[in-house]
């Protein structure tokens, strides 16, 4: 089971949390002057990247507090967790923490191959 490190309660099971969607979405500064296209983009257009993605999460079955997280959508790993309203960490810094996807090191880190397979050749 995936563990999420709540910044207020500590590590908890994924089932206690709910994803609130993409983080850092800015509301139009002058809503009364915003075009239909601006509202469409604000309400419905979301990024769906392969790699680092910034999301809002709530500890719904715990403290009930919201926080932001940077998660790798390929490995499902949480790379950073930070308070709402705080600036997101740089993507370059977060990508430096990731192993090469598809490498034996990555497969071992994800517990998908036995340790003896990491050093050896493929059968």
What does the DSSP assignment read for 23-75? S-PPPPSSGGG--HHHHHHHHH-----SSEEEEEEE-TTTT--EEEEEEETTT
Spatial separation of the C-alpha atoms in residues 54 and 59, rounded to whole Å: 16
Spatial separation of the C-alpha atoms in residues 73 and 60, rounded to whole Å: 22
pTM above 0.75, yes or no: no
pLDDT at position 117 is: 44
- At the second CATH level, the architecture of 3-88 is 2-Layer Sandwich (3.30)
pLDDT tens, 58-111? 999 999 999 999 998 888 889 999 999 999 999 888 888 776 666 555 554 555
Higher pLDDT: 106 or 117? It is 106
pLDDT tens, 21-51? 999 998 999 999 999 999 999 999 888 888 8
Higher pLDDT: 37 or 116? It is 37
Residue 112 has pLDDT above 60, yes or no: no
């Amino acid at each position: 089971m995936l563990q999420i490190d709540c910044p207020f309660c500590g590590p908890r099971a994924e089932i206690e949390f709910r994803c609130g969607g993409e983080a850092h979405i800015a509301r139009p500064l002058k809503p009364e002057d915003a075009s239909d296209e601006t509202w469409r983009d604000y309400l419905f257009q979301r990024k769906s990247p392969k790699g680092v993605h910034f999301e809002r999460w709530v500890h719904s079955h715990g403290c009930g507090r919201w926080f932001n997280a940077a998660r790798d959508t390929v490995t499902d790993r949480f790379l950073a967790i930070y308070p709402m309203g705080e600036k997101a960490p740089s993507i370059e810094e977060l990508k430096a923490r990731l192993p090469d996807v598809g490498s034996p090191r990555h497969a071992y880190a994800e517990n998908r191959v036995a340790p003896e397979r990491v050093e050896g050749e493929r059968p």
